[in-house]
Amino acid sequence: MELTAPPDRRKLTLNDSPLAWARRACDTVIAQYTPDALPPANRWHYHQGVFLQGMEKLWRVTGESVYLQYIQDYVDLYISPAGDISVKAHLDDLMPGQLLLLLEQETGELKYRRAAARLRERLDNWQTTPDGGFWHKDIYPNQMWLDGIYMAGPFAVKYGLLYNEPGLFDLVVRQALLMHKHMADERTGLLYHAWDHSRQAAWADKVTGRSPEFWGRSVGWYGFALAEILDYLPGGHPQRNALVRILSRWTEGVRAYQDHSTGLWYQVVDKGDRPDNWLELSCSTLFVFGLSKASRAGIADSSAAEAALRGYESVLKRIEFTENGFMRIPDICVGTSAGTYEYYVQRERKTNDLHGIATFVHMCMEMELLARS
């Protein structure tokens, strides 16, 4: 398709606001893709959902209708006028439900609430491990993945708050705590990517059931999810402080592995000394987001904000621009399952993969709030 250049074609610099960087990222995607073509094209999926939720944050600050309309045009492709929606038994497919909540609140159209309710109903019969942990996907029996708490958690707590279902708060907290129980490493403060109750997965330790590595983006998803969940979890919830303590420890672990020379983070977080490991930008943006948000909330001290600022500026220095002003974000890992060290470091790196553009927008919107605080 023929691209329409952003109104402002100049190369952005560190002197430009985080808001300007977020806007350019969103404008780049809007110019490149119609809503139906957002990759993976013609699919209701978390790739699009995470990006569009970042766009929602941009819209809330700027009030520019083009962003809300783009979100609505995407959502309307996948729900019927009666609110019917078809999804797989994958936690990934619940994540875009946050967009339904936004549109119901903004438009008042009943179809969005009905579609959200259909997604919410799936949680009542989700397949679980023996101790109640949600399977990440029905095709991965008895496996919990860190990604899953972001895919279902913020949607569920927002739904519970909007529609007075406090039981959803307990559900989400339980899932977050089970992940921490099974996947957290006390020594580093980081979390392993996945856990298999059955110990049958090729990557699963036969004693612990854990996958063997700390994959950057999965660690980032967990901290990102806790930070977002705490925004909506009632202050008096009996286990709120447990999540606060976990997020605080997460920030300590993440800061300890920030690369001293670049300010970024590695694909396999704790093995930056290996020559085949590489600096990955989607996890770096997620870590910046979590560090900044935890600092603003008083969960982490000012050094977390300092680490976030350094990481943010380090990410920006990696961004390139076309002559038409479009943004190019390199070194983004494609979608990835759990696996070995060799598996992670050999994963394909892409420029402008939606994982990285999405987390970049969230990072910029969080850094905008930090700058204003």
| Residues annotated catalytic, as ranges | 147
What's the per-residue H, E or C state across 63-114?
CCHHHHHHHHHHHHCCCCCCCCCCCCCEHHHHCCHHHHHHHHHHHCCHHHHH
- Specify the long-range contacts of residues 137-141, CB closer than 8 Å, at least 24 apart: 137/88, 137/89, 137/90, 137/91, 137/92, 138/88, 138/89, 138/90, 140/201, 141/198
Fill in the DSSP letter of residue 12: P
φ, ψ dihedrals at 268, nearest 5°: -100, 110
Chain centre to alpha carbon of residue 156 = 15
Q: Name the residue type at position 52.
A: L
Q: What is the dihedral of CA 181, 183, 188, 190, to 10 degrees?
A: -110
Residue 188 to residue 15: CA distance in whole angstroms = 35
Q: What CA–CA distances, in Å, run from 52 to 98, 172, 300?
A: 10, 22, 28
CB 184 within 8 Å of CB 191? yes
Q: Which amino acid is at 172?
A: V
> Please, what is the Cα angle at 215 between 214 and 221, to 5 degrees?
105
Contact, 103 vs 72, CB < 8 A? yes
* Two tokens, residue 112: 């969005």
How many angstroms separate the CA atoms of 217 and 234, rounded? 27
CB atoms within 10 A of CB 95: 26
